[in-house]
Amino acid sequence: MVRERLLDSAEAVLAEHGSQGLTLAAVATDAGVSKGGLLYHFATKDALITAMIERLIAGFDELIESFRLERPGWYTRAYVEATFAVLTTQDAEAARRRWAAVCAAATDPVLKKPFAAAQRRWLHEGLDEEPDPDLAQLVRLSADGLWEAAELDPSLLGPARLSALRERLLALVP
């Protein structure tokens, strides 16, 4: 419970003050715990950032799994659905900011490794079960590109356009 509250506070501090403002003291203050209480859960700032990244990855994996279909090639559809669920949720801007901020905070190549490993897995998972692996990977990369565009300019793609693009991507895969 305290650990999750600390991670929530770290994301809030990061979103509000950027990676330079993400200090253990700021996170402890935001969470209403002592710095020692924070250090009990996260010995270093790097450990805190790693935990934030791992939580984001686990959450996205759970979201993908929530769209699982019991048929070959299900993963690409689920990946697209999960991506659009994040892009179109009521709190979509906050979700995108959360991802962007956590990824930006991982400036050290060691901290980027968990996210890079997840990205590789997301782009390659189940491709051997897809009727057209190249098309499946292209669809996944397209979904990633939409995510990137939405991060750079949230007003670029409104709800109707996102819905149309979602339908088009899903029409490309079985």
Q: What is the pLDDT along the chain (174 residues), one digit of tens a residue?
A: 899 999 989 988 887 888 888 899 999 999 999 999 999 999 999 899 889 888 889 989 999 999 999 888 899 999 999 999 988 876 766 666 666 666 666 677 877 888 889 999 999 999 999 999 999 999 999 999 988 887 777 788 888 999 999 999 999 998
Q: How many CB atoms lie within 10 A of CB 18?
A: 12
Domain ranges in the chain are: 1-43, 54-171
Is the separation of the CB atoms in 127 and 136 below 8 Å? yes
**With b meaning 16 or more CB within 10 Å and e meaning fewer, what string describes 64-77?**
beebeeeeebbbbb
Is the separation of the CB atoms in 69 and 77 below 8 Å? yes
162: Cβ contacts below 8 Å, ≥ 6 apart: 84, 87, 88, 146, 150
CATH topology of domain 1-43: Arc Repressor Mutant, subunit A (1.10.10)
Amino acid at 26: A
Q: How many CB atoms lie within 10 A of CB 41?
A: 17
